[in-house]
Amino acid sequence: GAVVSQHPSWVICKSGTSVKIECRSLDFQATTMFWYRQFPKQSLMLMATSNEGSKATYEQGVEKDKFLINHASLTLSTLTVTSAHPEDSSFYICSARGQQMNSPLHFGNGTRLTVT
Amino acid sequence: DAKTTQPPSMDCAEGRAANLPCNHSTISGNEYVYWYRQIHSQGPQYIIHGLKNNETNEMASLIITEDRKSSTLILPHATLRDTAVYYCIVRSKEGAQKLVFGQGTRLTINP
């Protein structure tokens, strides 16, 4: 089945630094990937839609200059949290859809970001 | 995409069938019903999806009512490893491909 790999699985960084999270589709090509954020005891919240070769589409309330998304190839999307602050500490999860129109979305195992 | 309503929590005994309901009364004709689950600190796992016919795979069965306003996910022989949050989501085949998650049902399988 379709596999989505996320790296790193966890990261700790100091306030003010930037962190890059990678999302790869391992056995299929993904023209579209999605980035979610999840706070403790809450559901997943969609942050943005990442489109290969074009700009990402951000959900309302998500700062595009703070959460930089790059989808340079059909198998890789990256999310960079710039100038991270403690309130950015969260569980970040990416997903990608298989190539067929009715294919389900498959999710990575998430990245736990802790900003100190 | 149509909104879904699920009970916040359910309990089930190990070895029994777990039946998780989902209400999607505003579903439209081109929207599919998807089920995912999330085990603590992991990404969501795809379980099953359907349009109007009942579906079965190695993980679960999906029963969709004739009017498509509700559905039930059935885990036929629940194990402790099935303890997770289960999300029912409706999504159009066309247009927006994103999945919008509700609060889901926290299913606890008891020994």
H helix intervals, A1-116 = none
Question: CB A75: neighbour CB atoms within 10 A?
Answer: 19
The residues, ordered by sequence, that sit 6+ positions from B19 with a Cβ below 8 Å of its Cβ are: B72, B73, B74
Structure confidence by residue, pLDDT tens digits, B2-22: 689 999 999 999 999 999 999
Q: Which residues of A36-70 are buried (b: 16+ CB within 10 A; e: fewer)?
A: bbbeeeeebbbbbbbebeeebebbeebeeeebbbe
Percentage of chain A with pLDDT > 90?
Answer: 74
pLDDT > 60? residue B95: no
pLDDT of residue B94: 58
Structure confidence by residue, pLDDT tens digits, B35-91: 999 998 899 999 999 999 999 999 999 999 999 999 999 999 999 999 999 999 998
Chain B residues contacting A via beta carbons under 8 Å: 32, 34, 36, 38, 41-46, 49, 87, 93-94, 97-104
- In 3-state terms chain A splits into helix, strand, coil percentages (rounded to 5) of 5, 50, 45
The overall average pLDDT reported for chain A is: 92
Comparison of pLDDT for A98 and A112, the residue scoring more: A112
Dump strand ranges (E) for chain B.
9-13, 18-23, 31-38, 45-50, 55-56, 61-64, 70-75, 84-92, 105-110
- C-alpha B31, offset from chain centre: 14
pLDDT of residue B96: 57
Q: How confident is the model at residue A38 (pLDDT cuts 50, 70, 90)?
A: very high
Chosen for mutation from B101, B103, B105, B106 (greatest number of chain A CBs closer than 10 Å) is B101
Q: State the nearest Cα–Cα gap between B77 and chain A, in angstroms.
A: 23
Q: State the nearest Cα–Cα gap between A68 and chain B, in angstroms.
A: 19
Q: Residue A110 is nearest to which of B34, B43, B94, comparing CB atoms?
A: B43
Q: Which whole number is the average pLDDT over B105-110?
A: 97
C-beta atoms of B43 and A34 within 8 A: no
Structure confidence by residue, pLDDT tens digits, A19-29: 999 999 998 88
